[in-house]
Amino acid sequence: MTTKPALLLASVTLAAACNFQLKTHGFGGVTSAEPTEPTAQPTGGVTMTAAPSTARPIVTATQHVDVAVDHPNPLVIEGLGGVAEADLFSKHNIKQGCEGYVTEGPGVVLELAKPLEHAVISAPGAGVLLAKFGGKYVCASPSTVMTTPVLKLDVWPAGKIELFAGHYHQHAKIQYAIEIEDPARKRDLGWDKGDKGLVLKALPDKAEIRALAIPAAGKTPRDVTECRGFHFRKQPDLAMTLERPLAGLELNGRSGSAFSLMLVGPIPADGRNLPSRCYDDGHAVLARLEAGSYAIKIGTKGEAATVTMVVRGPKTPRDPAMLAPAIPDQLDHAGRALVNQFPELGEDDVMSSDPLRQKLFLIAPKQLFVFPTYDLDESVAQIHPRIGISTDDGLPEHTKFDYPKKNEPLLFIGREQYLSADGNVYHILPKDTALEPSGSIQLPATARNSVLGWGSSVNGAGAEDKGQLDAYWKLSHQFDACSQQVWAPFNDKIGALKREAYSEARDERIRSLERAGREREFSGCGETHLNSARDAEHKRLMASRTARRNAGLKDIAKRLAAMFGK
């Protein structure tokens, strides 16, 4: 139907018999009726006709709704609009209990053949709703902003009922619907009855992965729950059924777009007062959820998005190298972040595993790579020379590092961290990278930046390092046992002295004992030998890691050359 002129009229005839039934489609209960030809109207039908306009010829659009026994509840007349010009006080003589402005004429006119009992009339999208009939009126103007006005009567009288919708502010433009509901019947949510979506009988042994395509959408309709500025649609994006109560379920969404996760449910039997909760970071770790039906909904800032939803339990195994089931062909820089397209990957996984770093280069699709726009150096980039977390990661002073070159394929981890093919992690500004190479790709001939601290070298050790590393740890444990034996009598004496009152003489005796303990430990436990063994093992571990990275780099170079050409 046309949206101009601003005032839309509808003539509605409802059969008010005992089998009065109502209609809706869609989560939240609002939909437009299917259009039909403007033929003779059956009993109980709804006809909507645009009002005449002085600006152009009369345009008529007809929608028909059968009010039949098998239709769901409620009935919705959608696509209405207007400008709130008329003051309720001066135009309609409403002096108390209702304030605001409504359209000059009624948006909908109901013609009831018989009285209608207990029906609830509301106006999603409006802030004020006025019904006039037989010289009487009922009016609603909720004091809370963004609350749908609702009118309730025990009996709506037969005859003509004019419905005016409006707003708190004069001259405000409104787009709204009129919804007529039978509260004695279940409210139909409009979900596909044949699709239960994700059905869980227990916490998942294997992560459940779903790719959700979220279409572009306008602001959340007024009859749909929202979460702080995100736009949600009426339909759920993923249905979930729990066949028993579950505690510890985790929902984790990943996307290159900003989004909010909403969990709705369990859905009450009457379809009303739906419980919902919002998670603006897209991640929910849930306490006990009761058995029943749930809706998982995704809200964006209005744009279309692809969201990968992972459903798991606290003990569900995790595969950080698992790709999202659907990756768009075209991605902006943020969308290329590994943590968005590998739904079980965390930044710590990349920082802690050399094999994973190079594996990502062997499985990442072409549309995830980015490229420096010029040769980088320490003035515009930083390197993270570590593997895992260690407090023993000191590097030799004045250690020199190499940085990515122009058109070198990199993977964007997230938060300005980038991964190179030889397993290095750099901090780079996104503005210094491009989504496509400007020429032939460049790859390092051999693995760069072999220097690591002792702790990172140990964290990055491969399976082939186990024998020699175990031999070093055996020597280290022997030193520790000897050290404890040496220090035991000294610690007893030092502890006794520290319990005495302070004096310079006491402190000097403590220092003397500490020097004696260190000398005996150094001479009797082989500290020099241990330090030499550690230095040798440190160098060997770094060389072993470099060899592994060089071997991996050969396979990566072949793949990228085939992918981008060289």
Q: Are residues 237 and 152 in the same domain?
A: no
pLDDT (tens digit, 9 = 90+) per residue, 186-204?
888 766 555 668 999 999 9
State the Cα–Cα distance between residues 119 and 510, nearest whole angstrom: 90
Of the chain, the end-to-end C-alpha distance in Å amounts to 57
Q: Are residues 216 and 173 in the same domain?
A: no
State the Cα–Cα distance between residues 472 and 152, nearest whole angstrom: 82
Residue 279: which domain range? 198-312
Q: Are residues 25 and 160 in the same domain?
A: yes
> How is the chain split among helix, strand and coil, in percent rounded to 5?
25, 25, 50
Decide if 227 contacts 299 (C-beta within 8 A): yes
In this structure, is residue 405 part of a structural domain?
no
In this structure, is residue 365 part of a structural domain?
no
In this structure, is residue 144 part of a structural domain?
yes
Decide if 270 contacts 216 (C-beta within 8 A): no
Strand 108-112 to 8-14 pairing: parallel
Q: Are residues 175 and 226 in the same domain?
A: no
Decide if 299 contacts 220 (C-beta within 8 A): yes
Question: Cα angle at 543 between 538 and 545, to 5 degrees?
Answer: 95
In this structure, is residue 564 part of a structural domain?
no
Q: Are residues 177 and 202 in the same domain?
A: no
In this structure, is residue 100 part of a structural domain?
yes
| Boundary of a domain, candidates 312, 347, 380 | 312
Q: Are residues 538 and 474 in the same domain?
A: yes
- At residue 423, φ and ψ (nearest 5 deg) are 85, 15
**What contacts 428, CB < 8 A, 6 or more positions away?**
372, 376, 380, 381, 404, 410, 416, 417, 418
3-state secondary structure 20-60: CCCCCCCCCCCCCCCECCCCCCCCCCEEEEECCCCCCCCCC
In this structure, is residue 334 part of a structural domain?
no
Q: Are residues 222 and 156 in the same domain?
A: no
Q: Are residues 156 and 222 in the same domain?
A: no
Q: Are residues 131 and 209 in the same domain?
A: no
DSSP 336: G
| Boundary of a domain, candidates 282, 312, 342 | 312
pLDDT on residue 550: 95
Estimate to the nearest angstrom the gap between the alpha carbon of 38 and the chain centroid: 45
For residue 235 the two structure tokens come to 């339909």
Cis ω before 124 (30° cut-off from 0): no
pLDDT on residue 97: 84
Q: Is 245 exposed, middle or buried (0-12, 13-18, 19+ CB in 10 A)?
A: exposed
State the Cα–Cα distance between residues 350 and 399, nearest whole angstrom: 23
DSSP 463: G
In this structure, is residue 455 part of a structural domain?
no
Q: Are residues 305 and 238 in the same domain?
A: yes
Estimate to the nearest angstrom the gap between the alpha carbon of 356 and the chain centroid: 25
pLDDT (tens digit, 9 = 90+) per residue, 120-154?
999 988 999 999 998 899 999 988 767 889 999 99
**Domain count of the chain?**
3
DSSP 1: -
Q: Are residues 129 and 209 in the same domain?
A: no
State the Cα–Cα distance between residues 124 and 103, nearest whole angstrom: 15
| Boundary of a domain, candidates 277, 312, 347 | 312
What's the pTM value of the predicted model, to 2 decimals? 0.69
Positions of the chain with pLDDT under 50: 1-70
Q: Are residues 119 and 245 in the same domain?
A: no
In this structure, is residue 548 part of a structural domain?
yes
